Amino acid sequence: MNIIACVKQVPDTEAQIKVKADGSGIEEGQIKWVMNPYDEYGVEEALKLKEKNGGEVTVVSLGPARAMETIRTALAMGADKGVHICDPAFDNADAFVVGNALAAVIKTLPHDIIFCGQRAIDDDAGQVGAMIAEALNLPSAVTLPPDRGCSLGRSS
């Protein structure tokens, strides 16, 4: 079974967020960055599915160079491969752009199911998983706690 887990790097929930003086964003210099907790649940579920059925887990992330730390975290958890989409053109992109960029890469990867976090704790939008599903013409489902994630799969 080929499993994709999408992950995003977000500010640690304990980080003190300060707005830039010009109001154009946040001061990133002193922020500790971590894997989005909801995406971490998705990686854990992907790994459980791999353990049960075999196959491999590929982690896909879109973000600046520092997002590689989040991919490395997923690899340390047991993921087999990581794909990093890094292009300044995606800086400050909305969910539609991010979802379509992730879908364009995922389309080139073998996959039977895609796991996405329920939402990201930085923007709290919860839209990227649905955008990926739409772009790939796949059904999507949002699961409720304790699963805390979203999975996309091929219909039979």
pLDDT per position as a tens digit, 84-115: 999 999 988 999 999 999 999 999 999 999 99
Q: What is the pTM of this model?
A: 0.85
Q: CATH no. for residue 43?
A: 3.40.50.620
Cβ within 8 Å of residue 42, ≥6 positions away: 5, 6, 7, 115, 116, 117, 149, 150, 151
For residue range 41-89, list pLDDT tens digits in order.
Answer: 999 999 999 999 999 999 999 999 999 999 999 999 999 999 999 999 9
Q: Is the pLDDT of residue 123 over 90?
A: no
When divided into structural domains, the chain yields a total of: 1
Q: Sheet containing 140-142: which strands, arranged edge to edge?
A: 81-85, 56-62, 2-6, 113-117, 149-153, 140-142
* Domain span holding position 11: 2-153
Alpha carbon distance 106, 108 (integer Å): 5
For residue 38, give the 3-state DSSP assignment.
helix
For residue 136, give the 3-state DSSP assignment.
helix
Taking the CB of residue 116, how many other CB atoms lie within 10 A of it? 31
Cβ within 8 Å of residue 101, ≥6 positions away: 62, 85, 90, 93
